[in-house]
Amino acid sequence: SGINAEYESSGINAEYGYLDKERETDLQTRKLLSDTLFQMGGSYKVRQVFRDEGYYELLKQYDQWEEEDDARERIQNVIYLIIQDDGEVDLRREGELPDGWETLEIGGS
């Protein structure tokens, strides 16, 4: 995917220094955060914020660090949302997102 190559060559890791940050030690919290990002990614606007704010590089670093299989699978699902064309992704179902989320302004957009 073009996004994959774009982020890998962008130098985001060097710019933000993701590798030297402290990581969450609690496995259940890491899984919950991944699930939350995945559910939020059901919205086009949120996926666009993920792309614009460099979440791909951050989550790829986390994926490489994570040793627990279920937690890795969860974060890989979020990465999938980010790199897929929006026409290929539609997670929204009746009532899945809280009221107001579709019109919520995120990231100053």
Side-chain half-sphere CA neighbours of 46 within 13 A? 19
Residues 6+ apart with CB under 8 A from 91: 39, 41, 42, 81
Residue 78: φ, ψ to 5°: -70, -45
DSSP state of 60: H
Do the beta carbons of residue 30 and residue 66 sit within 8 Å? yes
Each residue's pLDDT tens digit, 6-57: 545 544 444 555 556 688 899 999 999 999 999 999 888 899 999 999 999 9
Give the amino acid at 29.
T
* pTM of the predicted protein model: 0.64
